[in-house]
A = this chain, B = another copy of it.
Amino acid sequence: MSANANRKVVLKSYPKGAPGADNFEIIEEAIPTPGPGEALVRAIYLTVDPYMRGRLRPGPSYAEPQKIGEVMIGEIAGQIVESNAEGFAKGDYVTAHTGWQTHGIADGRDLRKLDPTDAPISTSLGVLGMPGLTAYFGTLDVLRPKAGDTLVVNAASGAVGSVVGQIARIGGCRVVGIAGSKEKCDFLTGELGFHATINHRETKDMAAAMKETCPNGIDCYFDNVGGPMTDAAFDNMAFGARVAICGQIAQYNDTEQAMGPRNLRHFLVKRATLRGLLVHDWRDRYDEGLTRLTRWIRSGELKYREDIVEGIEKAPDAFAGLMEGKNFGKQLVRIGEDPSRG
**Chain A contacts to B: CB under 8 angstroms:** 61-62, 223, 226-227, 230, 245-248, 251, 257-262, 264-278, 281
Contact = CB atoms under 8 A, between A and B. Distances in A.
Given A223-B264, A268-B278, A274-B275, 18 more contacts: A227-B262, A245-B264, A245-B265, A245-B268, A247-B268, A248-B264, A251-B265, A257-B262, A259-B259, A259-B261, A260-B262, A266-B276, A270-B276, A271-B275, A271-B281, A272-B275, A272-B276, A273-B273
A267 B242 CA distance: 14
A264 B61 CA distance: 13
Most buried by B among A251, A258, A264: A264
Given A227-B262, A261-B259, A276 B281 contact: no
A276 B265 CA distance: 8
Contacts of A276: 264, 266-273
Counting every copy of the chain, the complex holds 2
Given A259-B260, A260-B260, A271 B277 contact: yes
Given A257-B261, A259-B261, A277 B268 contact: yes
16 contacts: A223-B264, A226-B264, A245-B267, A248-B265, A257-B261, A259-B259, A259-B261, A260-B261, A268-B276, A271-B275, A271-B276, A272-B275, A272-B276, A273-B276, A274-B274, A274-B275
